[in-house]
Structure 1
């Protein structure tokens, strides 16, 4: 009988690195970040968790994005672009200003409903890098999609500004509409309308309730007296 200790294989498995073309790795990392976000929530987003999800070295996210804020900012930028595209899609073909505004509102709601955690991340300024060019530009794209149904939109000036110059009345009307629709979106994705919808006659779901609220709203561009 041998006196040599029996060697034991460790149960810990190492993640086998996946082969990526250099140009495709950033996209793969963002896909991985979104997968972690959807499955585990914002609090689970770290460089290591993203690398583990992508099956690459734990240093890969840092190499491409710098730090966690960099990854989250790029992910939020993608969210802004998707939001803009969804709003434009819902408003496409709508006849008349009010119909287009309602289309934009329904696009905003649809995006939030499909991407609740991504929407929440897009609003977490303390987790994002406001200096990141991709985030700045994506906010401008989403801003133009939102502001365009409330009047002519000028290009935003150089810097971090999301919106270009606009009349005060346009800004006020847009603020009212944005707050209204965003409030509906947050109530919906946080499950706060389920009880109310269940109590309402002729309403089948919280989504139906929100859609009816959008249809009911009439927001027009009025005059604003400024000093």
Structure 2
């Protein structure tokens, strides 16, 4: 999977510093479960001088059960709020059983899905922050016969850390992919079974092109 990148318009910085180019390459090498269909998407251009992003849907039996995105930000000059020069920003949304919406532990559990996924994929991180939101929907009037629905939304950001003086973004993307699957209620991949590299090619919107 080829991941594109974008530079902030007017930043005056040369495109694609080597460390960012390497990090973007590593994003494309993430091994995701076959249910996760990921592709490049336009990255925000005003948060950091350099950015790359992926979006994904988790599909089971032809139905999308969760969706999300991950954005890799890079500021060669560093960012005090990040405590580093890179930052991962992730989002995940999934349908959940309606009765789960009242569980007071749901938010803590939802956040643990992310932190445990990062740990299990060897993705060292710091300065993590985020929110877990529960949304319940009821129907009225002509739609009153429709059953209610509920969703969980997880928004998070964290600073990827060097491991043995090397920054490997692959594990962070893989952890995000696992978060999408866990939120959707998919069982863990059996021990000894290896997820395959995601082979979905870049879409037209994933091509490089600052200012588009």
Task: Name the TM-score class by shorter chain.
Answer: under 0.3
TM-score for both structures, normalised by structure 1: 0.25
Structure ranking higher in helix proportion:
1
TM-score for both structures, normalised by structure 2: 0.27
Higher radius of gyration, 1 or 2: 1
Q: Which has the higher contact order (CA 8 A, sep 6+)?
A: 2
